[in-house]
Amino acid sequence: MITESLDVTRRPLDGPGLSDRTTADRRLVHRAALSEVFVTDSAQVGDATYEVGAQLPPQHAYYGDHTGRVARVDPLLLLECCRQAETLVAHAYLGVPLGQHFVLRSWDMAFPGIGDIPVGYAPATLRLLVEIERPRTVHGVLRSLTYRVTLLVQQPVGETEVGRVSTEVMFASPMAYRALRDTRRRTTLVTSAGLRDAPVPPPVDPALVARAHERNVVLTAIEADEHELRGVLRLPFTNASLFDHAQDHVPAMVLTEAARQLALVALADTHGLSAQHTHVGAITGRFLQYVELDEPTVLHLEAPRPPVRSAPDQPPRSTVAVRVVQGDRPAATIELALDTLPGPLAVRRAGA
């Protein structure tokens, strides 16, 4: 269940001060390209609390490729900042060595204050408070934990809380990870790097999913009956943001993007909600098993209910649930809450 009981008041928090002069070491956030590193600096501020700085790029080939009529930061960019902050904390402060595999079990996020992040030519500065809960160790080695992340954006005066993210992660040694992957496959593992020259099926029309460029479309076919919509996953392996480095499975971020794109199509077809005006406000994901790169994957979305308003001054909100299925095996469930916002002309008229 997606909840949004967040404090969105302006409240400056004291801290040691974080630098945004350079990015963090890309190895500590599992990135190959410096252009895909968004966190900058970090510090420990409590027994199990850490502070991480991040800078949002004003333009980006993937996170900035939206045709939405209302300028708004992509919530998946915020999620990626949280993922990088969590990974940095694990390596820099918790003793998790480079080479360990991070096994994602779930994440739950809500961004009610996302509209307070400035969008323009200057980069926005974030501060992420990362709290560690329920760490589990075996023979002194960290095996799993839960991250609680609070995102705050710098304002001219003080800070505004943007949202919160909770993530459950397990850690596996290279040997344990290989054993885990080998038990799920009958053939040799393939990687995204090895598939970059493989043919990619054509995407759905980018306009259907509020994208300008087909390189960022991760659905190749959509069909529907009276019960549900189904979308076939498309994997553009040459997309340097979706596949920054070699992967032997489909990343959870790609599955979440596919769920968002299918939701936009479903809401437009079922309720006439414009994809250009509809934005994700909250996400809950449960990841049950790895999704293989070389097997067809289908996303299923039950016909969504009409949107509802929680209050007269709030935009209509739609909630959808997407099931990710590979073969006959459920791989993930992703629930999204999406808000359909008035366009800039409507906003201007309302404020006139």
Task: Write out the DSSP string of 222-236.
Answer: EEE-SSEEEEEE---
My answer on whether 138 and 192 are in the same domain is no
**Do 202 and 154 share a structural domain?**
no
Q: pLDDT value at position 349?
A: 55
| Distances, alpha carbon 20 to alpha carbons 52, 56, 125, in Å | 10, 11, 8
Residues 114, 18 within the same domain: yes
Count of domains for the chain: 2
Give the pLDDT of residue 160. Answer: 93
Amino acid at 206: P
Rounded CA-CA distance 274/267 in Å is 8
Given 162, 184, 206, the domain boundary residue is 184
Q: Which CATH number goes with the domain that contains 43?
A: 3.10.129.10
As separate numbers, helices (DSSP H) first and strands (DSSP E) second, the chain gives 4, 12
Q: What is the pLDDT along the chain (352 residues), one digit of tens a residue?
A: 344 433 333 333 334 578 888 999 999 999 999 999 999 999 999 999 999 999 999 999 999 999 988 889 999 999 999 999 999 999 999 999 999 999 999 999 999 999 999 988 889 999 999 999 999 999 999 999 999 999 999 888 889 999 999 999 999 999 999 998 888 787 888 999 999 999 999 999 999 999 999 999 999 999 999 889 999 999 999 999 999 999 999 999 999 999 999 999 999 999 999 999 999 999 999 999 999 999 999 999 998 999 999 888 888 999 999 999 999 899 999 999 999 998 777 655 555 5
The answer on 283 and 191 residing in a single domain is yes
Point out the domain boundary residue: 137, 165, 184: 184
- pLDDT at position 347 is 56
Same domain for 218 and 89? no
What the block records as the tokens of 136 is 């589990």
Same domain for 122 and 238, yes or no, is no
Same domain, 174 and 30: yes
Q: Could you tell me if 224 and 297 lie in one domain?
A: yes
Residues 151 and 234 grouped into a single domain = no
Give which of 215, 293, 258, 246 is closest to 33, Cα–Cα: 246
Residues 105 and 23 placed together within one structural domain of the fold: yes
Choosing from 139, 163, 184, the residue where a domain stops is 184
- Structural domain boundaries enclosing 191: 187-352
| Domain match, 127 and 275 both | no
Backbone dihedral region of 242: left (phi > 0), alpha (psi from -120 to 50 degrees) or beta? alpha
In this structure, the answer to whether residues 277 and 196 fall within a common structural domain is: yes
The pLDDT score that the predictor gives to residue 314 is 86
